[in-house]
Amino acid sequence: MEDMSAIVLEQADRLFQQHIDKQILLEADAGHWPGSLWGALDDAGLPLALVPDAKGGVGLASSVAASLIRRSAFHSVPLPLAETIMANALWTDAGGEVIKGAMTLAPVNPLDRITLVAGARGATLHGTARHVPWGKQALHALVFARDASGKAFLCRVPTAKINSTKARRNVACEPREDIDFDGLHLSSNDVSPASSCLAAEGLMPFGAAIRVQQMIGGMERCMDYALAYANERVQFGRPISKFQAVQHMLAIAAGHFAAASAAGDALSEAPLLGDNAFAVAIAKSRCGEAAGQVAAICHQVHGAMGFTQEHPLHYATRRLWSWRDEWGAEPWWQEKIGRVICARGGEGFWPLLVDRQEAVGAA
């Protein structure tokens, strides 16, 4: 299994390097859907990374899928690959069949609520989801909804059926639509009771989990750029990496990156990324803080050159600035952490930090 996982990651990295260049990224920033790139990802089976073999997927372990998402972010893949991986995993876990094509997840914001009214021939949705990633470009949206009694459901929504949207883009120029689901009717085949892991927070921990892995990949790319530039840029007769001030900045960035990576690694201990909401809260808040620091320091190391359109650093940093605020910004998740700790009390604080079972129970 380890050998197979290494082969998958190596082939994915090679695929990203082969298909992603400056022209692809420029066209994606302008709103062009890179169909050839998606076709290559689909042919390689990457959108089904977390779907078990028995259900037609690749069946990767959570830790390997996390590494795959990191590598996609390292290369600034301008597609909803991470969203599709998670959406297919959740839908098949709920008993659905594999969904072909690009997918997205909704709602994204903690305050957005989608309600479901069951009928004789299916169900009807109501509510609005804001800033949905690739809301109209994806072929399907996996929507989390509750009925009047509070029961949770997952809904497979073909985006062709969505009539009302408002186009937006985040700082990274990635599409983020506001979608109005009011009156949208779905057949019974498109609605499934949600798994127990979704009962409390819905899709929030799972969306945050993929943003955590993406931020780690984006930070790694920034660090690579900064280290390479510091060793190449000569000032006063020596590389700037030899100056103590620059070394100190890079050391701070490396510390933030290491802490964020450790927090992200903890998520892969669960059977499915995002299955431990307490670990997600820690990772999302820590990675969000680290992303801001790493982006700022790497731009500072590059000086004026790093702020130009020609230098590729901005493809990573603009995504970091966007991802840190999506699926709950740091304050929202930090409040979750605080509530769990306060509920456990002083005697329960230390076991919560060192005992994995305690941490899982806190979720």
As a whole number of angstroms, the distance between CA 363 and CA 355 comes to: 13
Number of CB atoms found within 10 A of residue 57's CB: 19
Q: What is the pTM of this model?
A: 0.95
Domains, the chain, in order of start with CATH, read 2-194 (2.40.110.10), 204-362 (1.20.140.10)
Q: What are 280-302's pLDDT values in tens digits? A: 999 999 999 999 999 999 999 99
Confidence at residue 2, expressed as pLDDT on a 0 to 100 scale: 62
DSSP per-residue codes, 36-91: HHHHHHHHTTGGGTTS-GGGTS----HHHHHHHHHHHHHTT--S-HHHHHHHHHHH
Confidence at residue 215, expressed as pLDDT on a 0 to 100 scale: 98
Confidence at residue 348, expressed as pLDDT on a 0 to 100 scale: 83
Q: What are phi and psi of 357, to 5 degrees?
A: -65, -35
Q: What are 180-199's pLDDT values in tens digits? A: 999 999 999 999 999 988 98
Confidence at residue 272, expressed as pLDDT on a 0 to 100 scale: 87
Q: Which residues of the chain have pLDDT under 70?
A: 1-4, 356-363
Ranges assigned E (strand) in the chain = 103-106, 115-119, 122-126, 128-133, 140-146, 152-158, 164-166, 176-180, 184-186, 191-193, 234-235, 238-239
Confidence at residue 164, expressed as pLDDT on a 0 to 100 scale: 79
Cα angle at 213 between 207 and 214, to 5 degrees?
Answer: 85
